[in-house]
Amino acid sequence: MAPITTSIMKKTLKLITTATLLLLVVTAFSPQSGYKLTGKIKGIDTGLIYLSHNVGDKEIKDSTVITNGSFAFSGTVPEVKIYVLKIKGGKQQKNFFLENKEISITGDKDSLFNAKVIGSPETDTYFGFYNGPWKAITAKAGQIYRRLDSANQKGKVTLSPAQRKPFDDEFKALDILNQNAIKAYVEAHASSVAVAAIVEDRFINYPYPEQAAAMYALFSPAVKASFYGRAINESLALTNKTAPGKLAPDFVMNDVDGKPLKLSALRGKYVLVDFWASWCGPCRKENPNVVAAYKKYHDKGFEILGVSLDSKKEAWLKAINDDHLTWKHVSDLKGWANTAAALYGVKSVPASFLLDKDGKVVAKDLRGEELNNALANLFKD
């Protein structure tokens, strides 16, 4: 009987050993059930600190007490997103990706935006781009804008097409550099949710839908299903509604006199639907070029409908007058909540849609010489 007993014991021990090893493997590769966020802030002993994120237009906020400069949060996030850390009464904030991991943040209350985050790979990936390739791009952009400001005396002088062309060429080259830098970064981090946030920043909020679609195709399935991946996909679907050849969505909005003006009432003419705002620097820089195009082609059947994302009527009307914008203007004075902007998927200004006589989209976001060339083709003698 002894050999049988020994055999059973050996089999039992083997099963126990296998189960134990399996448990260890599962434990090692299972994600942490929640996050533990700890921090140390210099320059403050006690106070209240907030941890927040947005769901649509609603801010979801948690808080905890700072004790001896230290704080701690814990919980579970359903998916990786950018969260904001801000001290009550403070002017600075720190943006970072909250993951279900042990994360620590150390910084100074007067420069919280520069705090160091340890334990969040997504945060490392996100700021790796903005502290690396993006810095070189913004440095080049700054140089071009400074020379353009000098040439047009900060918008006081209208440059001729020949004078403007070298700057336009430089901006085009910079766009290519920007696109290549983002593509290389996405390819290197295609499994990171952070690159989806970067693509949303650079190609959705500053609309380059074709580039956004190309980058989206490079994402891993998990990144496509992430919060930022879904946002990109939804935005691209909305952008497709105003693709060239599609009938532009109709809308009604009040003009400068408070009278309703319907976009479709302008059919029979080529119409540039121009989204802008008085506070938008690039819009104001582009206005002289749009003014020149309007003067040249208005009598031939070209109309412009300016849609302002202003919230204050006085500022809107002053900018119209100061920039000599003599075409039709509308606004609901709701700022970024402008209903037409939402309908057209406008995430940044300037943004424009050139429509044919039947109200169909011909082209989008034509600026500088591109607008002049498109109108010249439309109004060939």
| Domains annotated on the chain, with CATH | 35-119 (2.60.40), 128-240 (no CATH), 252-378 (3.40.30.10)
Pairing verdict, β 58-67 and 93-98: unpaired
For the segment 295-336, what is each residue's pLDDT rounded down to a tens digit?
999 999 999 999 999 999 999 999 999 999 999 999 999 999
* pTM of the shown model: 0.72
Which residue do the tokens 């983002």 mark? 182
- 265 confidence band (pLDDT: 50, 70, 90): very high
For the segment 165-208, what is each residue's pLDDT rounded down to a tens digit?
999 899 999 999 999 999 999 999 999 999 999 999 999 988 78
Report the candidate in 282, 336, 285, 281 with the shortest Cα–Cα distance to residue 307: 336
How far apart, in Å, are the Cα atoms of 280 and each of 164, 312, 346, 347, 349? Answer: 20, 14, 14, 13, 7
CA 213/CA 219 separation, integer angstroms: 10
Lowest mean pLDDT among 4-18, 279-293, 352-366: 4-18
pLDDT at 32: 53
CA 148/CA 164 separation, integer angstroms: 9
Both tokens of 82, joined, read: 């950018």
Burial 135-160 (b: 16+ CB within 10 A, else e): eebeebbeeeeeebeeebeeeeeebe
- What is the mean predicted confidence (pLDDT) over 42-48? 96
pLDDT over 90 at 17, yes or no: no
